[in-house]
Amino acid sequence: MKRKYLLRTGVRAVIGMCLCMAVPVTVWAQAAPSNAQACSSELGKPLLAVAPRPANPPDSNGGFINRIASCNMWQNFFYLNWPALAGQAGVPNMHAKFGAPGATVWQTLASPDQVFLPNGQKPAPWGRWTVDAAIPPAVAEQVRAGKLRVLRQVVKFVGDAGRLHSIDQVDGLVLYDQQTKPVYYEVMLNKTLYDYIVANGLYEAKAQAAYAAKKAIAPPVGSFELKAAWKVLSASEVTGKRFFTTRAYVISPGGEGSVQTVGLAGLHIFAGGGSDTQGNSAGLWATFAQVDNAPLSGQVQASTKYNFFDPASNAVPNLPTKVNGKQVPAPTQVTQVWEDDVDAAAVTRYAQSLITGVNQDAPWQYYKLINTQWTRGGYSATPPLPQNAPLPLKGSAGEPNTTQLLNPVLETYMQVTQVKDATQRSCMACHAYAQVADQKQKFATGFSFLFSRAQAAPVGNADSSR
């Protein structure tokens, strides 16, 4: 009986969050799929709609189950990938159809190098982003106009903030597609997280450490952090229309830049759950992938043309090609080692049916949710202080719903290196080690590596940045 009560409580919490975050929107006609119960509450209320609104996670508890979490993150997926309103960073176009061409909401958000500036300077006001001086003027003009984006990978490369391209995954290795082209990565954060960072001076390393010594750093409820994997597309992949595409100024490992059409291959979403007044959760995590990326290990489908797998290849899956111990460019034979979560797969089928119900040409119908991750309890926003990394994944927070959450195009090789260590096969297990930029301290930063990019203001000029 108690379990049933908690379940209903968790469901009501999700519905309440959806309603309080809702904004006036146009009502889009939708088909009525037969599997609608995949995202219905015990009271029969819908938990998922193709609409430009987020569904932030409630405090995790025993009643928050995988099916609800999957519906929650698909709702966030709809919101973040909704066509953006031109000239307004992070604002959805309420009159646009889901899947319409153009930049999405998350593509207009801030990149970490626009928030964590050299010498700990204060970031520009939201949406007034500058283009790096290293970008050619003609390209920079198109970037400012929103016609091009520059791919950046910033997580794990704190000392290399000026680099405009990165092809390294979290383990320092490169993923190559079947045309031997590297996959590029970028990270973005929304205004709620930006405001939290700016209001508390967390963009400057010394101020950040001082804050963390008195108060736990925790990305607040309503915040989003995303990491995307982009594949340079061939002409046939562009015409195939099974990718969400964008035009980008891509800088090759050799330093040459060129304009390319790239397709979204994978997307991590971290929805923050921090609170200053109540125990904060570790947030809600999810990872999405393009459906043609790779087969499940041992289950190759003859009818599928994979993005990162060649049925005729004898290469060992999920291992880099090395010469004298150093990785060299060569196609990576990728497989998905662990299958999609059962609940996530069911919700994906429902979400795909909703998408085609509003737009049969939307590329988003070719994306899937692999799984979600969340803790069953809360993390205290106050004692013990300071909170040091790594944050525990057990104890008062409760163990995560799963210890396994890897994306084959974002953590390709970790599928092999972590196969014997079940505790390190997930987003939370990795991000538990996130800590402040001041390397003399070990203060945790609420499962977000963004904060490690902060630089210190010059001596004697610590207050000039704020």
From the number of C-beta atoms within 10 Å of its C-beta (0-12, 13-18, 19+), residue 360 rates as: exposed
Please tell me the predicted confidence (pLDDT) of residue 262: 96
* 356: number of Cβ within 10 Å: 16
* 361: number of Cβ within 10 Å: 11
Please tell me the predicted confidence (pLDDT) of residue 234: 95
Please state, rounded to an integer, the average pLDDT across all residues of the chain: 83
Look at 6 and 443; give whichever has higher pLDDT: 443
User: Are the beta carbons of 373 and 427 closer than 8 angstroms?
Assistant: yes
Look at 383 and 291; give whichever has higher pLDDT: 291
Residue type, 378: G
Look at 141 and 99; give whichever has higher pLDDT: 99
pLDDT of 63 over the 80 cut: no
User: Are the beta carbons of 457 and 465 closer than 8 angstroms?
Assistant: yes
Please tell me the predicted confidence (pLDDT) of residue 161: 36
pLDDT of 279 over the 90 cut: no
* Cis amide prior to 24 (ω within 30 degrees): no
pLDDT of 35 over the 90 cut: no
**CA 321/CA 441 separation, integer angstroms:** 37
pLDDT of 463 over the 70 cut: no
Give the confidence band of 379 by pLDDT, cuts at 50, 70, 90: low
Please tell me the predicted confidence (pLDDT) of residue 354: 97
pTM for the whole structure: 0.88
Residues 6+ apart with CB under 8 A from 352: 365, 368
388-442, pLDDT tens digit by residue?
A: 999 888 766 668 889 889 999 999 998 887 666 766 788 888 898 999 999 999 9
From the number of C-beta atoms within 10 Å of its C-beta (0-12, 13-18, 19+), residue 101 rates as: exposed
Look at 149 and 202; give whichever has higher pLDDT: 202
Give the confidence band of 248 by pLDDT, cuts at 50, 70, 90: very high
Query: Tokens 């646009």 appear where?
Result: 96
Give the confidence band of 22 by pLDDT, cuts at 50, 70, 90: very low
pLDDT of 19 over the 50 cut: no
CA-wise closest residue to 54 among 6, 11, 90:
90
pLDDT of 20 over the 90 cut: no
Please tell me the predicted confidence (pLDDT) of residue 382: 59
157-179, pLDDT tens digit by residue?
A: 334 333 333 455 556 788 999 99
DSSP bridge pairs for 46: 40
pLDDT of 3 over the 80 cut: no
Give the confidence band of 59 by pLDDT, cuts at 50, 70, 90: very low
**CA 162/CA 154 separation, integer angstroms:** 9
